[in-house]
Chain A
Amino acid sequence: MHTHFKQFVMILTLMSIVALGIVSLTMAGSLASFTGEKGTLKIAGGTAHIPVMKAAAKQIMQAHPDIRISIAGGGSGVGIQQVGEGLVDIGNSGRKPTEKEIAAYGLTLFKWAIDGVGIVINPHNTLTNLSQKQLQAIYAGNVVNWKELGGADHTITVYTRDEASGTRAVFWKKALGKGAITPKANFVVSNGAMKTAVANDPHAIGYVSVGHIDETVAPVALNNVIPSLESVRNGEYPVARGLYSNTREEPTCLTQKFINYLFSKEGQALVAEKGFIPVK
């Protein structure tokens, strides 16, 4: 109960900090506001954001053919670094940029969704729950066979993400308690890739954005809390993070309009449709 309250306060604080960073939200963020705009918008960064980015870009580009939006992945680290260096207009991150990053690049943050990071295994695996200790043991490489956890007699294939990943950062800090990740783990480059890998490998274990979880992978409860939209929304599931879009200093016209679109009714509907928790 105490921890749940703490999580709630944390999320509230996060949201207030973001509210301070937001420039102008109240203007119409709908598609009509893009009329008359032309030019290119470059987006890169967090891979969890990509489904929403693609959907939003499609809506905008179909209604306004003069606008061109290009979307790249790369991970949260890439998003922050590229927007900071001026290589892209919007840098997405699945973790909050650190104080150092905000100061070094002069970032403005926009959080438009809440997401969790859940542990997933292949649907053929019958495991349903892991304690944090067990999770740490698996990822450290100390527990190597599923039978040690009551499952089939087979080695565990551990999957992890690269260092630039915000998903990994959140997983490492909150789920793994900053525990070690074995150097023998297989690397995948995005949330989509993690999902594909775990879905295809019957003995896999990995972690992925809650919004990405579908019937091809099976979520595993952490300390008996199942990662799902509900448990993230009500704070029960602790491994939560915001989905941020960051810009350098104050965003310019087209960039600002895109960000507004994300916060608009249509934008937030897209967020919910893609499996995340809208902030509004």
Chain B
Amino acid sequence: MRMFERSFEKILFTAALLSASITLLIFIFMLVLGLPLFREGLFWDLLSDPWMPQQGLYGIYPMIISTMSIAFLGFLFAFPLSIGVAIFINGLAPGRIGSYVNTAVRLMTGIPTVVYGFVGIFLLIPLMRTILQGGSGMCVLSAALILAVVIAPTMILFFISSFKSVPNAYLRSATALGATPIQKLLYIVVPSSWNGILTGCVLALGRAMGDTMIALMLAGNAVAAPDGIASAARALTAHIALVIAADVNSMAFKSIFACGIVLYVLTAFFTAVLRLTTSRRAAS
């Protein structure tokens, strides 16, 4: 019996070790396959050069700018929207409407991004083309708008769960003092959940930077860094998808591992920040 216990525990530990090592392996593979970049000291060049393979420049600087632009713009659209919906669901909605909207939002998180991209191409892009009066309609703005709809549901759910964790005592005392629902929400719930809101924002931003299909299908994929939200842009994730077709041994291909490394480091950074803020919240 004891033997079984011990061997079972070993099996469990092996499984856990396997899972954890995958995360590390991913990073190691990227490093190994991108090794030539480091050896020739090219990595830092890659981060600042433009992408011009015919001149031998394999820099991903424009892609970094594009990823940041699309992600931040998308976040900028999504944040006020999400706060609004979260407050609505958490107290402002009359009767059962709040829970219906809640269910709807939860279902929304399951909509595939490729479907959003597909509709975006055939519905939003022609619209953008007429509104912007220039360009193909595929630009940072189009991608950011759809991206906002993609990341909003996750943000909303996160905000709601942090709203719910505000101690009931606060709310009851506020009601005793004659506060209306909106007053309670605005002056008590939201400020107390600030940590949770921040966490939700960081999560959403990370998600926005990592999205592939929306950026690939809707942002135009031009190699130059965008000089405005109406220009076409190529995100790091889209760049990987596009260049993967190139020669496996060439520098172009190796440069996508640089993209992979940049994305990995960004994710690790965001995760670390998240863990620090949540542990601080748990401690307080």
Binding site for B on A (CB under 8 A): 74-75, 77-78, 81, 85, 154-155, 157, 159, 162-164, 182-187, 189, 197, 200-202, 204
Minimal beta-carbon separation of B188 from chain A (angstroms): 49
User: Are B134 and A164 in contact (CB-based, < 8 A)?
Assistant: no
Nearest chain A CB to B82 CB, angstrom units? 31
Interface set of B (CB-CB < 8 Å, partner A): 50-54, 62, 125-126, 129, 133-138, 220-224, 231-232, 234, 242-243, 245-248, 252
Q: Which residues of A contact B224 (CB under 8 A)?
A: 182-184
Bound complex: CA A92 to CA B64 (Å): 33
- B247 engages A81 (CB within 8 Å): yes
Contact A154 B220 (CB under 8 A): no
Contact: A77 with B136, CB < 8 Å?
A: no
Please name all residues of chain B whose beta carbon is closer than 8 Å to the beta carbon of A85 when the two chains form the complex: 248
Nearest A residue to B134 via CB reads A155
Q: Are B126 and A186 in contact (CB under 8 A)?
A: no
CB distance from B21 to the nearest CB of A (A): 28
The residue on B at minimum CB distance from A200 is B126
A201 touching B246 in the complex, CB below 8 Å, given contacts A183-B222, A183-B224, A186-B222: no
Q: How near does chain B come to A33, taking the closest CB pair, in angstroms? A: 33
CA distance A197 to B129 in the complex (A): 13
Kindly list chain B residues whose C-beta atoms are within 8 Å of the C-beta of A183.
50-52, 62, 222-224
Q: Are A74 and B245 in contact (CB under 8 A)?
A: yes
Q: Is the Cβ of A201 less than 8 Å from the Cβ of B129?
A: yes
Neighbouring A residues of B248 by C-beta, 8 Å: 81, 85
Q: Are A186 and B53 in contact (CB under 8 A)?
A: no
Which B residues touch A204, using CB under 8 A?
136
Least distance between B131 CB and chain A CB atoms (Å): 14
Nearest-neighbour CB distance to chain B for A106, whole angstroms, equals: 16
Pick from B51, B52, B136: contact of A197, CB below 8 A.
Answer: B136
Residues on A with C-beta less than 8 A from B50 are 183
Q: Which residues on B sit within 8 Å (CB–CB) of A159?
A: 136
Q: A201 vs B232: C-alpha distance in the bound complex, in angstroms?
A: 14
Contact A78 B136 (CB under 8 A): no
**Quick check: B53 and A163 within 8 Å, CB to CB?**
yes
**A187 with B234: in contact, given A197-B136, A201-B129, A204-B136 (CB under 8 Å)?**
yes
Find the residue from B51, B234, B246 having the highest chain A CB count within 10 A: B246
Q: How far is the CA of A157 from the CA of B53 in the complex (A)?
A: 22
Residue pair B126, A189 in contact (C-beta under 8 Å): no
Q: How far is the CA of A81 from the CA of B51 in the complex (A)?
A: 21
CA distance in complex: A147, B129 (Å):
18
Residues of chain A lying within 8 A (CB to CB) of residue B252? 163
Instruction: Evaluate contact between B221 and A187: CB separation under 8 angstroms.
Output: yes
Complex: A182 Cα to B135 Cα, angstroms: 14
How distant is A48 from chain B, measured CB to nearest CB, in Å?
15
Known: A81-B247, A85-B248, A163-B53. A184 touches B232 (CB 8 A): yes
Known: A157-B136, A164-B247. 20 other contacts (CB 8 A): A75-B245, A81-B248, A85-B248, A154-B134, A155-B134, A155-B135, A162-B242, A162-B243, A162-B246, A163-B246, A183-B50, A183-B62, A183-B224, A186-B136, A186-B221, A187-B242, A197-B136, A201-B129, A201-B136, A202-B129
CB contacts between A and B, total, < 8 Å: 65
State in angstroms the CA–CA spacing of A223 and B245 once bound together: 33
Per the bound structure, the CA–CA distance linking A3 and B245 in Å amounts to: 36
Q: Which of A155, A157, A162, A184 contacts B245 (CB under 8 A)?
A: A162
B225, chain A: closest CB distance, angstroms: 9
A251 to B137, CA, bound (A): 46
Which residues of B lie under 8 Å from residue A77 when comparing CB positions? 245-247
Q: A78-B245, A201-B129 are in contact. Are A187 and B222 (CB under 8 A)?
A: yes
B223 with A187: CB separation less than 8 A: yes
Residue pair A189, B242 in contact (C-beta under 8 Å): yes
Note all chain B residues with C-beta closer than 8 A to A164.
Answer: 245-247
A154 to B130, CA, bound (A): 11
Q: Which A residue sits closest to B220, measured CB to CB?
A: A186
User: Which residues of chain B are near A182, meaning CB under 8 Å?
Assistant: 224
Complex-state Cα separation, A247 to B130, whole angstroms: 47
Which residues from B are CB-within-8-Å of A75? 245
Asked if B135 and A157 sit within 8 Å, CB to CB, the answer is yes
A184 touches B222 (CB 8 A): yes
Give the distance in Å from the alpha carbon of A183 to the alpha carbon of B226 in the complex. Answer: 10
Shortest C-beta distance, A134 to chain B (Å), equals: 20
Query: What residues on B are CB-neighbors of A197 within 8 Å?
Result: 136
Q: Which of A77, A157, A189, A197 has most chain B Cβ within 10 Å?
A: A157
Q: Which residues of B contact A186 (CB under 8 A)?
A: 136, 138, 220-222, 232
A and B contact pairs by CB, cutoff 8 A, 8 listed: A75-B245, A159-B136, A164-B247, A183-B52, A186-B232, A187-B221, A187-B234, A201-B129
A184 touches B231 (CB 8 A): yes
Most A C-beta atoms less than 10 A away, residue of B133, B220, B224, B234: B220
Q: CA A81 – CA B246 in complex, angstroms?
A: 8
- Shortest B129–chain A CB gap in Å is 7
CB <8 Å contact, B232 and A78:
no
| A204→B133 CA distance, assembly (Å) | 13
